[in-house]
Amino acid sequence: MARIDRLEIRIQTGSQGSDSEVKFQFNGHTLPFDNPSGGTGAGEVFEGAFDLMSVAHAVALNGPESGEWAIDKIAVTYHPSMGDPWDLCWGPVLLDATNAVNLWAEAPTPTFDV
Amino acid sequence: MSSPEDKTEIGDVKAILEELEAELATEEKAVAKPRRFKSWSPELPTPDPKPAGPVERAIIQAPLIQTVTSVEDDGGIRIKAQVSRDGMECTLMVNRTILGDAAWWFPTPDLGEGSPLPEAIFAVEGVLSLLVDDSTLVLSRSRGALSSWEEIATEVGARVREMLGAGDSLFSEAIQEGIPTAEEVSAGIQHVLDTEVNPGVAAHEGLITLERVRNNSVYIQMGGGCQGCSAADLTLKQGIHGAFRSAIPGLGGIYDETDHAAGVNPYYS
């Protein structure tokens, strides 16, 4: 498990937007994003970040408190305390008040040219 | 010396004492049984057995798109290698299509005979098996191989670059013609899941589902007791892979999309 200094997120909403505040779970704690920008309406892009400064073992994006939120794409960059940041990108998912989508994956193993 | 008056008084006292003893005995009995003060007992609301708290959300998975492993395309043949976390496999990512958009599995070197690229790759010492999927090559190496993954990947990369540069056919016609359609793969895998795999893992409250099919490759999810189970990888590689491949000749890649870290009811935890 890596110690993460900062998380940055970019959410591309699909055909069905949401009015709820965007919140995420970090190790079981529900938090809003710092300095959110953009929107979560249909076709809009939301951007946010959070200075975690903690060891991560579970990160998830909460569904809206009411209605459904159709997401086309979620891109996350993790900035670890040691080593290079890594990017992750997920495809379409439908969220609601009963669920949250996983945003955590360990850093990929390094690549080398052959 | 006592007067009749005194006798009367003594008799009264005795009677009073007897009454008091009787009352005391009654009260002791009453103390033994808790008194019920129905008239002024407060009517408390029935406590909620589960205090209200935040709703526990189900953690779901979205398809992960690998963006970190993209290979730059500057016109030349570029190959990047990545060793798996457990060190058992090495994936070579090439900025060229190798087998169209399909996949082929070579479990042993002899099954690569007749196909120029697999023959060249298996000629590298230590290579045990090969999965060709679109523009990636997934290698496994034999136990006790003396060469490191860096050495093997470098040698394989040189041979791939050489063969791609020559522009010759890389695979035999038998392979090109033996690739099953997505419909055949989907129907075959579902049949194996329904008749062999799921009845077997049901004993551990597990459930394997076919998530999607990409040409002749499949993506599965391991749920219930399988999700997060410490034996999931063994079950997948020694049980499910074998059942799938024997039922569907020409099956390409088998990918597990389960987030095992999110499992809440693993059988072997």
ipTM: 0.88
Note the helical H segments in B33-148: 116-122
Spatial distance between the Cα atoms of B95 and B81, rounded to a whole number of angstroms? 12
Is A108–B80 a contact, with Cβ atoms under 8 angstroms apart? no
pLDDT digits (tens, 9 = 90+) for B189-218: 999 999 998 998 888 788 889 988 999 999
What CATH number is given to the structural domain containing A29? Answer: 2.60.60
- Residue A92, classed as helix, strand or coil, is coil
- The mean pLDDT value for B4-8 works out to 52
Q: Which helix (H) or strand (E) holds B131?
A: strand B127-133
Residue B35 pLDDT > 80: no
Specify which of B8-12, B47-51, B232-236 reaches the highest per-range mean pLDDT.
B232-236
Residue B228: left (phi > 0), alpha (psi -120 to 50), or beta? left
User: What single letter denotes the amino acid at residue B235?
Assistant: T
Q: Check CB contact under 8 Å for B55 and A98.
A: yes
Q: Identify the weakest region by mean pLDDT among A98-102, B54-58, B102-106.
A: B54-58
The pLDDT of residue B8 is 56
pLDDT value for B145: 78
Answer whether residue A81 is part of any domain: yes
**Does A109 map to a domain?**
no
Q: What is the percentage of chain B residues whose pLDDT exceeds 70?
A: 77
Q: What is the mean pLDDT of residues A83-88?
A: 87
Q: Is residue B226 very low, low, confident or very high in pLDDT (cuts 50, 70, 90)?
A: confident
Please tell me the least confidently modeled range out of A26-40, A89-103, B55-69, B191-205: B55-69
Is the residue at A61 inside a domain? yes
Q: Tell me the two tokens of residue B15.
A: 């009677």
Strands A69-80 and A93-95: antiparallel
**Which two tokens mark A17?**
């937007």
- Is A111 part of any domain? no
* Mutate which: A95, A99, A102, A114, vs B, most B CBs within 10 A: A114
Which of A94 and B16 is assigned the larger pLDDT?
A: A94
Q: Using the predicted structure, report yes or no on whether residue A26 has a pLDDT greater than 80.
A: yes
Say what the pLDDT of residue B48 is.
Answer: 61
Q: Judge whether residue B262 has pLDDT over 70.
A: no
Least confident of A65-69, B34-38, B181-185, B246-250: B34-38
B2: pLDDT strictly greater than 50: no
* Mean pLDDT, residues B19-24: 82
Asked whether residue A15 is assigned to any structural domain, the reply reads yes
Residue B64, pLDDT score? 76
Report the C-alpha gap between B138 and B98 in whole angstroms.
12
Model confidence at A6, in pLDDT bands (50, 70, 90)? very high
In a domain, A62, yes or no: yes
Give a yes or no: residue A29 inside a domain.
yes
Closest CA to B97 of B82, B113, B117, B83: B117
The average confidence (pLDDT) of chain A is 93
Phi, psi at residue B140, to the nearest 5°? -120, 155
Domains: count for chain A: 1
Partners of A88 in the beta sheet? A76
List chain A residues with CB under 8 Å of B62: 71, 74, 90-93, 101-102
pLDDT score recorded for residue B13 = 78
Residue B188 has pLDDT above 90, yes or no: yes
Compute the count of residue pairs across chains A and B with CB atoms less than 8 Å apart.
94
> Partners of A47 in the beta sheet?
A10, A37
pLDDT at A97 over 80: yes
- Bridge partners for B207 per DSSP: B223
* DSSP class of B222: E
Give the pLDDT band (50/70/90) at residue B36: low
Cα-flanking dihedrals φ and ψ of residue B181, to 5°? -75, 165
- Look up residue B174 and give its two tokens: 């038998």
Q: What is each CA distance from B29 to B19, B25, B205, B226, in whole angstroms?
A: 15, 6, 58, 62
Q: Does A107 fall in a domain?
A: no
The answer to whether the CB atoms of A100 and B59 lie below 8 A apart is yes
User: Which residues numbered 24-53 in A keep a CB inside 8 Å of some CB on B?
Assistant: 25, 30
The pTM score is 0.64
Torsions phi, psi for B70 (to 5 deg): -65, 145
Nearest alpha carbon to residue B251 among B189, B174, B173: B189
Give the domain range for residue A84: 3-102
**Minimum mean pLDDT among B8-17, B55-64, B151-160: which range?**
B8-17
Position B30 scores a pLDDT of: 57
Contacts of A105 in chain B (CB under 8 A): 64
Top-confidence residue, B115 or B52: B115
Segment A72-83 shows an average pLDDT of 92
Report pLDDT for B69.
46
Produce one character per residue of B15-52: b if its CB has 16 or more CB atoms within 10 Å, e if not. eeeeeeeeeeeeeeeeeeeeeeeeeeeeeeeeeeeeee
Nearest-Cα distance to chain B for A44, in Å, is 19
Pairing type for strands B254-256 and B217-224 reads parallel
